Chain A
Amino acid sequence: DIQMTQSPSSLSASAGDRVTIACRASDNIYTYLNWYQQKPGEAPKFLIYEASSLQSGVPSRFSGSGSGTDFTLTISSLQPEDFATYYCQQSRSPPYTFGQGTKVEIK
């Protein structure tokens, strides 16, 4: 199985900050990497697919980059509604594994 490791596990930031979350795959997944946002008590929301493509309706302050084994999710200017947990997920090979999540908290 491909292991997905996110860092950090949590971070504290203020509104307006630039935030970067890293995701590393245990094997080459090319750009088969997706990002989701989850708020407490809610289902995940699809943010970015294939490493860098923004899902329709997602604000442009979200961006993704990377290929191979190393990927990043960047929020250019953190908004109050962005405080949530973020998950990366590989869609290269089964089982389609997720990272353990990065919780973005208010400083």
Chain B
Amino acid sequence: QVQLVQSGAEVKKPGASVKVSCKASGYTFTNHYMHWVRQAPGQGLEWMGIINSSGGATRNAQKFQGRITMTRDTSTSTVYMELSSLSSEDTAVYYCARDPSPGESHVFQFDSWGQGTLVTVSS
């Protein structure tokens, strides 16, 4: 079955960067795009961006332009999300989530999710 396993919780100081990983298994990694979605404490869900797990092309929400970098390593079936210039407003649980559409299409739905990575930004 599809499994997405994320890296552990992080505590960062304001201005720092954080890199979260998401290791996929149970399906052909390069066949599905991957999204990143975050959730601030007690708040709703926010889409951050998408990466082509095969070719590596990315697209992100305008809100994160210049601060987010998404990459992938096909040899380990892992995607990464790095967020820079952190502030307290970036304190959230960060999820990777698979796009269900196989191949080059993507439908911006999220059919399987990682367990989440809590990132706390505090001085």
Give the A-binding residues of B (Cβ under 8 A).
44-47, 59, 61-63, 95, 97, 100, 107-116
Give the A-B pair count, Cβ closer than 8 A: 55
Quick check: A34 and B115 within 8 Å, CB to CB? no
Given A36-B110, A55-B111: A95 in contact with B62 (beta carbons within 8 A):
yes
CA distance A95 to B108 in the complex (A): 10
Contact of B95 among A43, A91, A94, A100 (CB under 8 A): A43
Q: Are A43 and B61 in contact (CB under 8 A)?
A: no
Using known A-B contacts A87-B45, A100-B44, determine if residue A95 contacts B110 with beta carbons closer than 8 Å.
no
**Nearest neighbor of B4 in chain A, beta-carbon distance:** A43
Query: Which residues of B have CB within 8 Å of A30?
Result: none
Q: Which residues of B contact A66 (CB under 8 A)?
A: none
A20–chain B nearest beta-carbon distance, Å = 20
**Contact across chains for B45 and A91 when beta carbons are under 8 A apart:** no
Number of interface residues of A (CB under 8 A): 20
Prevailing SS type, chain A contact patch:
loop
A64: CB under 8 A from chain B? no
Mask, A34-58, CB within 8 Å of B = 1, is 1010000001111001000001000
Complex Cα gap A39–B114 (Å): 14
Report the minimal beta-carbon distance from B42 to chain A, rounded to whole angstroms.
10
How long is the Cα–Cα vector from A84 to B110 in the complex, in angstroms? 18
Q: Are A44 and B45 in contact (CB under 8 A)?
A: yes
CB distance from A41 to the nearest CB of B (A): 9
The 9 A-B residue pairs with the shortest CB-CB distance, nearest first, are A43-B113, A91-B108, A95-B61, A98-B45, A96-B47, A46-B111, A96-B108, A100-B44, A34-B109
B59–A94 CB distance below 8 A: yes
**Contacting residue for A46 out of B62, B63, B109, B116, CB 8 A:** B109
Report the minimal beta-carbon distance from B85 to chain A, rounded to whole angstroms. 19
